[in-house]
Amino acid sequence: MSAPHVAVRNVHIEIRGLTKTYKSKTGSVPSLKPIDLDIDKGEFVAIVGPSGCGKSTLLKLVAGLLPATSGTIRIGGANVKEPIDDIGIVFQSPVLLPWRTVRDNIMLQIQMRGRRAADYEEAVARLLKTAGLEGFEHRFPWELSGGMQQRAAICRALVHDPSVLLMDEPFGALDAMTRERMNAELQRIWYATKKTVLLITHSIPEAVFLADRVVVMSSRPGSVEAIYDIDLPRPRDLSIMGDPRFVRYTQDIRKHFFAQGELDH
Amino acid sequence: MWILRSVKSIAGSDAIRPVLLMLIILVAWDLCVRIFRIPPYLIPAPTYVVYELVNQWPMLLRETLPTLYATLGGFALSALVGIPLAMLIASSRTIESYLYPILVFSQSIPKIAVAPLFVVWFGFGIFPKVISAFLLGVFPVVVATVLGLKSIDKDMLDLARSMRAGPLRTFLRVRLPSALPSIFGGLKVSITLAVVGAVVGEFVGSNSGLGYVLQVANGNFDLPLMFAALFILSMMGVVLFMLLDFAEHLLIPWHASRRDEFAGQT
């Protein structure tokens, strides 16, 4: 099984000359140097970079949550100026509402969009099943483990069936063991839903394990330093992390950060 | 042994503990008055106070009602004005910079000093007392609500925005519920201060209410009556506070401070 983008290119997210400069009292701080990046439909792209390289800024720009200083982002041909319907976002913390059950938290996505909850009961049930949260739909978030909370957040990001899933270090707050399990889970969910995924992470193994392509960003102001095609068979098993090719990829990517000085961790 | 154990089990109940402490304080108070021979015009023994409470009960009850009404009126006004005012302050930096300093300034004016003005403006009815209770009660509501509305997670707001929800929907579904614990914190402080405000109002211009009773008793060196009135005032504060606590319990059972019992129920 080969990565989808190797076949016919079918660009889904198109980023052209994108820059972001933050204005502050002391002057303007460039956060992103011009970035060009194409992401194909159904592709899984991971972005790694040192902390403060603007990778979260990039994600917020793609999500339409921040205005770009210059350049364009197009998703499915449409210009992104503000949040569009076709994306779902997962943040580092699950940001679940404590007064809503797991099911109602997922439904928030539907209610906030002013759609009819009844039309999505089936989608919620299917997602809960895919994410292994069956039987927990009437629990409150604080009754669940961190990994389960994040899985509920992923369900919430997918319930309105967007074609793009944006994830901002979604497993950064989890312990190493849970994190690896979540990586395997996420791959399974991605397989089941066929979304275009943009994942921000500072874990190189996580990026290599999950992604079709890994984008390496340089430190501030951020720019694309290198892009690696991860040519590993799918579906990937956690045991692949011991595979010499996997190790090669992680070593090659890590070298960028040694050259730059540090990778936060 | 069984006596010790049953005493222990009584002391183990949450409802009994404050009563137990009250009893201990009362006994200590009584003992002090007896041992040091403190005359009743300085500190009356608790027995005198209880005697006064029982004896004057119809009068005290009659005078409690106006104070209670003024307190509730002032509290209701505090909530009705304070919460929307806080929403306004939390909604915009500009509004905040205009309003907040004035609010703090006005809060620093001693209410007892301006209370006579209310008599001049509004006469001797219940209205000036309500205003006085409101002026003391509104500030904690505003401060707590502003804090609650502003301390929402930034990611939460980004999430709401990514869901393309309008400001009203975001406010009702996300902002307001997450501020509720804070708002209740403010309301609880407010209700006890509203009692104080009502009494202050009654001090300066009234011929009814517990504040008036206090004033008269003070003038006559009738300390047992004064203590009896003070006791009723305190009980009023406690009962109102507990009612609010109960309402909070019903409205926000999900809050961290209550999760144990809540999870136990489901």
| pLDDT value of residue A7 | 53
Cβ–Cβ contact A92 with B under 8 A: yes
Residue B254 with chain A: CB contacts under 8 Å:
98-99, 140, 142
For chain B of 266 residues, list the mean pLDDT of each consecutive stretch of 10.
Answer: 70 76 89 88 86 91 94 97 94 89 86 85 89 93 94 91 90 92 95 94 87 91 90 93 91 74 51
CA distance, residue B158 to nearest chain A CA (Å): 7
| pLDDT value of residue B265 | 46
How far does chain A reach from its first CA to its final CA, in angstroms? Answer: 33
Half-sphere exposure (Cβ direction) of A121: Cα atoms closer than 13 Å? 2
Edge-to-edge strand ranges of the sheet holding A27-40: A27-40, A11-24, A70-75, A78-79
- The whole-angstrom separation of Cα B260 and Cα A142 is 11
| pLDDT value of residue A194 | 86
Q: Looking at chain A, which residue has its C-alpha nearest residue B165? A: A112
Residue A169 burial (CB count, 10 A):
19
| pLDDT value of residue B48 | 86
- The whole-angstrom separation of Cα B223 and Cα A95 is 57
Residue among B155, B164, B266 whose CB faces A85 most closely:
B164
- Nearest C-alpha neighbor of A168 from the set B83, B158, B230: B158
**CATH classification number, B48-254, choose in 3.30.43.10, 1.10.3720.10, 3.10.50.40, 3.50.50.60:** 1.10.3720.10
Residue B164 with chain A: CB contacts under 8 Å:
83, 85, 112-113
| pLDDT value of residue B12 | 66
- The whole-angstrom separation of Cα A229 and Cα A6 is 10
Residue among A89, A99, A142 whose CB faces B162 most closely:
A89
| pLDDT value of residue A261 | 54
- A63 close to A42: Cβ distance less than 8 angstroms: no
* A203 three-state secondary structure: coil
Which candidate in A65, A85, A107, A112 is best for mutational testing of the B interface (most B CBs within 10 A)?
A112
Pairing state of beta strands A196-201 and A44-48?
parallel
- B-contacting residues in A 23-62 (Cβ below 8 Å): 60
- The whole-angstrom separation of Cα A82 and Cα A243 is 42
- The whole-angstrom separation of Cα B176 and Cα B167 is 12
Residue B163 with chain A: CB contacts under 8 Å:
83, 108-109, 112-113
- The whole-angstrom separation of Cα B8 and Cα B44 is 32
- B149 close to B90: Cβ distance less than 8 angstroms: yes
- A65 close to A20: Cβ distance less than 8 angstroms: no
- The whole-angstrom separation of Cα B161 and Cα B175 is 12
- A-contacting residues in B 144-163 (Cβ below 8 Å): 153, 155-156, 158-163
Buried b (16+ CB within 10 A) or exposed e, A18-28: bbbeeeeeeee
Contact A112 B255 (CB under 8 A): no
> What are the beta bridge partners of residue A224?
A217
What are the two backbone dihedrals, phi and then psi, of residue A144, each rounded to the nearest 5 degrees? -105, 160
| pLDDT value of residue A8 | 62
Which pTM was predicted? 0.81
- The whole-angstrom separation of Cα A15 and Cα A64 is 12
Contact A83 B256 (CB under 8 A): no
- The whole-angstrom separation of Cα B163 and Cα B168 is 13
The 8 Å CB, 24+ separation contacts for B206-209 are B206/B66, B206/B124, B206/B129, B207/B124, B208/B63, B208/B66, B209/B63, B209/B66, B209/B67, B209/B70, B209/B129
Local confidence pLDDT in tens for the 265 residues of chain A: 445 545 567 888 988 888 888 887 787 888 888 888 999 999 999 999 887 788 888 899 999 998 888 888 999 888 888 898 889 999 989 999 999 999 999 999 999 999 998 889 988 998 898 888 889 989 999 999 988 999 999 999 999 999 999 999 999 888 888 888 889 889 988 988 889 999 999 899 999 999 999 999 888 788 888 899 998 888 888 889 889 999 999 999 998 887 655 554 4
- Nearest C-alpha neighbor of B196 from the set B80, B70, B65, B105: B70
Residue B162 with chain A: CB contacts under 8 Å:
63-65, 83, 87-89
| pLDDT value of residue A221 | 80
